[in-house]
Amino acid sequence: MYHNPIMLEQCIEGLNIRPGGIYVDLTFGGGGHSRAILDRLDETGKLIAFDQDEDARRNAMDDPRFVLVDANFRYMKNFLRLHQALPVDGILADLGISSHHIDAPDRGFATRFNGPLDMRMDRKQLLTAAEIVNTYSPEKLQQLFSTYGEVSNARQLAAAIENARTSPIETVDDFKRIISPLVPKKIENKYLAQVFQALRIEVNDELGALKVMLRQVPDSLKEGGRLAVISFHSLEDRLVKNFIRSGNFEGEAEKDFFGNLRTPLVSITRKPLVAGLQELESNPRSRSAKLRIAEKA
């Protein structure tokens, strides 16, 4: 299976799908969420999906109501305008990497396989994880691991990488061998996950793309349209929560002349939704997922 869609029923319910509406799946992947949306649309409905990974194109559906855009979701508004789809009734984003990426050794996302230290979602881009560990300054590496991975010994980690550059660091095993003396033994898997997360976020500019996309949401949604976002770590969730609450990423809502909050979106979920026990048992990768739903005022 390419990817098991996370919190599928909660997402579909949260989008409050109108049969003749226009919907956007910003992270198509294996198409699980997209198929569920299409099942609820009539012949006049439309679904536009985005995915920058060429592997996802193999999962495209032959359906006249469906369009798959080969691009990062940071270009959402441009392509929606191109397809004469603005404004839309709902936008869905599942920000986690797919099972396909984690299970493919040649993509370099997983710590348990050896393969090229890659981590690119879009393999047409030049920057890879190997390029980062071989060329970034120790100061830049330290900031990356501290900010994106919340790694406690980021300075020592950066220094170890710099000292190992007598020969190119090309594979996952090369990298793990270099940092192994710094990996805490009792939390080895968690630590490696944090380090790899930091590299992946940097390679794909994930937080930058998320900010660009969120800023486009208010102008892209119809009044009463819904936004549903699944995040998998606190950095993503904080950006989504603050934007829904205040219309910016600092979380400080602006007020009009009369003291009323000026927020383009209204939160539908007081707290983020999480996966139920049954899903946690069948799909352990859902354990860190948080779903936030908002509506355009």
Q: What is the pLDDT of residues 28-64, one digit of tens each?
A: 999 999 999 999 999 999 999 999 998 888 999 999 9
Question: Phi and psi for 55 in degrees, rounded to 5?
Answer: -65, -30
Contact 38, 135 (CB under 8 A): no
CATH fold label, 8-99+206-296: Rossmann fold (3.40.50)
CATH 3.20.190.10 fits 112-204, yes or no: no
User: Integer distance in angstroms from the first to the last C-alpha of the chain?
Assistant: 38
Q: What is the pLDDT of residues 129-163, one digit of tens each?
A: 999 999 999 999 999 999 999 999 999 999 999 99
Identical topology for domains 8-99+206-296 and 112-204: no
Tokens, residue 227: 């936004």
Cα 274 from Cα 201, distance rounded (Å): 23
Contact 257, 248 (CB under 8 A): no
* Domain positions in the chain: 8-99+206-296, 112-204
**What are the pLDDT tens digits along the chain (297 aa)?**
556 789 999 999 999 999 999 999 999 999 999 999 999 999 999 999 999 998 888 999 999 999 999 999 999 999 999 999 999 999 999 997 877 778 888 898 889 989 999 999 999 999 999 999 999 999 999 999 999 999 999 999 999 999 999 999 999 999 999 999 999 988 999 999 999 999 999 999 999 999 999 999 999 999 999 999 999 999 999 999 999 999 999 887 777 777 777 788 999 998 999 999 999 998 888 899 999 999 998
Cα 162 from Cα 232, distance rounded (Å): 30
- Which has the closest alpha carbon to 85: 69, 62, 63? 69
pTM to 2 decimals? Answer: 0.93
